[in-house]
Amino acid sequence: MKRSVLALFVPPFAVCRYGCAGCCAAPIGVFWITGIVSIIYAFYGGPAQAEGISMGTLALGVVLWGIAAAWARNTIHGATKDGHQGQCDSRQTSSVCTLVHTNTDQSDPMEEVKKFHS
């Protein structure tokens, strides 16, 4: 219950506390802060400088906040399912992290060019 409430109201902190912060805390924080700014900006008329509340800007803020909350909930659920319990261990790999290939070619492109000129 506490995880769900924290994920709803402050998603980046919920991910830092109950999930693996290195996974998604920064992008979740960007969505969350942008949602807050959009909601506040809606009360000042939004980009059209309307007299009242800009409902489109308010809806955008709520949607962005909802995306951040859903993303945080999924991240926390994934970390709990993988057995992280709030601690990221380099030996444990998340199911999301296993989808990304870490063994990519790390060669220097300039070295490749030099090989062709020789």
For residue 115, what pLDDT is reported?
80
Nearby residues of 116 by Cβ (< 8 Å), 6 or more positions away: none
% pLDDT > 90, the chain: 30
Mean pLDDT of 58-82: 89
With a CB cutoff of 8 Å and minimum separation 6, the contacts of 7 are: 14, 15, 18, 69, 72, 73, 76
User: Mean pLDDT across the chain, nearest whole number?
Assistant: 79
CA torsion through residues 60, 61, 63, 68, sign: positive
What local confidence, expressed as pLDDT, does residue 19 receive? 75
By three-state DSSP, how is residue 86 classified?
Answer: coil
Query: Residue 95 above 70 pLDDT?
Result: no
Is the pLDDT reported for residue 29 higher than 60? yes
pTM tops 0.85, yes or no: no
Count CA atoms closer than 13 A to 113's CA, side-chain side.
3
